[in-house]
Structure 1
Amino acid sequence: MTTTFICLELRRHFRDYVSVFFIAVLPAFFYLIFGASQSYKSESAGHGNVAMYIMISMAAYGAVTATTGIGGMAAVERMQGWGRQLGLTPLTDAGFVAMKATVALVFAAIPIALIFILGVFTGASGEWSAWILSSIAVLVGAAVFSVYGLMFGLAFRSEAAVGAASGSLVVLAFLGNIFIPLSGTMLAIAKFTPLYGYVALARYPLTEGVLIDSNGNPLPAEPLWVPMLNLSVWAVIFVTLSTYLVKRGRGRQ
């Protein structure tokens, strides 16, 4: 039965062409514009080139957009009565979570696969280990942001709130050193934002922690524990707030 629900959920989400566009096509377009079409794409960046550096960044942005949207809609659906309908079926709460997690990971894999394939054909290059480890880090790390979407859905209980959660990722991406290289005060601020640790971990197999400032100059390598701590702390914050919102919602019933 879980397989049937997963297939139905995937079919339903694939029919939402606008969401699919923002999840897959838009990040791929960003990669082509800011990475593949630029003259500096072949310049060295760690164990690869700049095109691969930008490819990883755009894949990460697309993946978190996917998991945030699906995580938020899961919360809204449960609170709007879909949970009671599912209560009439053999699907357990654990099964529901597993189903949504599977759907979120499938959708997160779409922009990753699309952008990495584009990277192969547009000059992105790097060691094979960087390709494999970065793709895994992008996919696994994106799961944290399904809880981010869940938090918004629980807090505001509307589809508009889920859209706002996905939209807020644009701002967080700028602050998190995804779209443009930051330096100085802005880079110091970035290290405390949610997307910074995630994308830094995704790039780590390529760069080994070396950052690039706004002028294209390399900065000293950053220890691995910095992005790991950032992502871990934000994961705890998202889970804690989501748990509180679930308890608050039950208290109102």
Structure 2
Amino acid sequence: MSTALGLSPTMLRIEALRQIRNPYTLTFTLGMPVAMYLLFGAGMDYGSMSAGNGNVSFYVMVSMAAYGTAVAMSSLTSLAASEAQQGWGRQLAMTPLGSAGYAATKLITAITFAVIALAAVYLAGILTGAEATEAWRWVATAGIILGVGVMFGLYGLGVGLFFNPDASAALASITLTFFAFFGNVFMPLDGVMLEIARFTPMYGFVALARWPLTEGVLTTGQTDSMGVVVLNIAAWLALFAVLVAVGVRRSRTRR
């Protein structure tokens, strides 16, 4: 049984269960962002201190939720690209599911786990004292994270198409963790390191996610321009699209 879009509820269920049973997915997509929020946000004495339109715990919560969403999107879409390279997509094309249904299933699964990752961090925040001055700031930050975070699905696709299928998922999440460390996500940066951070793919994404809380004001007292933040996102979105295009071309030459 399939829907008008070629989706199979059975395939969706199987794919979701497969990822839930995957210790890698549970650890890096769901467990790590919550643990890092509890460690660097709720678990610190400064968590209740004021930060923009909320407190430090809320600031760290948004950062970790953005990180978890990016990892979920990139790692799961890289797996989809790897499976396609290994011929799984061609096999499914001979079934009622089809290639479009297969791609949609993978995308829905990635988005679902991104939502779960964000919800897990936000629930931890609610239970441990994360605060914002108005309720709409919770909704706004979550909406930005999920909306803009889809761009990292392109990154995952590009990595999955361009690199070794056996290592692509790990590579996608590891490189995003690297970008997060050097992108002002895990710890406040200053000076030269902050200037370098502004050119990393996680910087613009997380800066925009924090905007309803900070309105662009950094912990160092400097202020980000909305234009610079949006330019960062647009530039990396374009680069991710190029990575996918090059990956598609490269995968075709290997066949």
Bin for the TM-score computed over the shorter chain: over 0.9
The one-letter code sitting in structure 2 at the alignment partner of 1:62 is: G
1:191 maps onto 2:193 in alignment: no
CA distance in 2, matches of 1:207, 1:81: 47
Aligned match of 2:18 in 4, 7, 12? 12
Deviation sequence 1:70-117 (CA, Å, 0-9, x none)? 111011000101011111123343333322211111111112101111
**How do residues 13-52 of structure 1 correspond to structure 2 at under 5 angstroms?**
13-52=19-58
CA distance in 2, matches of 1:212, 1:154: 38
Query: What count of residue pairs does the alignment treat as equivalent?
Result: 248
Deviation sequence 1:131-176 (CA, Å, 0-9, x none)? 0010111112221111111111111232213212211112100111
Residue 89 of structure 2 contacts residue 102 of structure 2 at CA under 8 Å; is this kept in 1? no
Residue 153 of structure 1 contacts residue 159 of structure 1 at CA under 8 Å; is this kept in 2? no
**How do residues 95-114 of structure 1 correspond to structure 2 at under 5 angstroms?**
95-114=101-120
Identify the residue that residue 228 of structure 1 maps to in structure 2: 230
What is the CA distance between 1:249 and its match in structure 2? 2.0
State the SS of the aligned residue for 1:159. Answer: coil
- Runs of at least 5 residues in structure 1 that lack an aligned partner in the other structure: none
Aligned match of 1:166 in 161, 173, 180? 173
State the SS of the aligned residue for 1:114. Answer: helix
Identify the residue that residue 246 of structure 1 maps to in structure 2: 248
State the SS of the aligned residue for 1:53. Answer: helix
1:180 maps onto 2:184 in alignment: no
**How do residues 203-218 of structure 1 correspond to structure 2 at under 5 angstroms?**
203-213=210-220, 218=221
- Runs of at least 5 residues in structure 2 that lack an aligned partner in the other structure: none
Identify the residue that residue 150 of structure 1 maps to in structure 2: 157
CA distance in 1, matches of 2:206, 2:57: 15
Identify the residue that residue 80 of structure 1 maps to in structure 2: 86
Aligned match of 2:74 in 59, 68, 76? 68
Residue 29 of structure 2 contacts residue 71 of structure 2 at CA under 8 Å; is this kept in 1? yes
What is the TM-score when the length of structure 2 is the normalising length? 0.93
Q: Percent identity?
A: 43
The one-letter code sitting in structure 2 at the alignment partner of 1:241 is: L
CA distance in 1, matches of 2:254, 2:36: 43
Residue 82 of structure 2 contacts residue 160 of structure 2 at CA under 8 Å; is this kept in 1? yes
CA distance in 2, matches of 1:47, 1:159: 44
CA distance in 1, matches of 2:127, 2:21: 28
Identify the residue that residue 135 of structure 1 maps to in structure 2: 142
The one-letter code sitting in structure 1 at the alignment partner of 2:75 is: G
More divergent stretch after superposition (203-212 vs 160-169): 160-169
RMSD of aligned residue pairs (Cα, Å): 1.3
What is the TM-score when the length of structure 1 is the normalising length? 0.94
What is the CA distance between 1:129 and its match in structure 2? 1.4
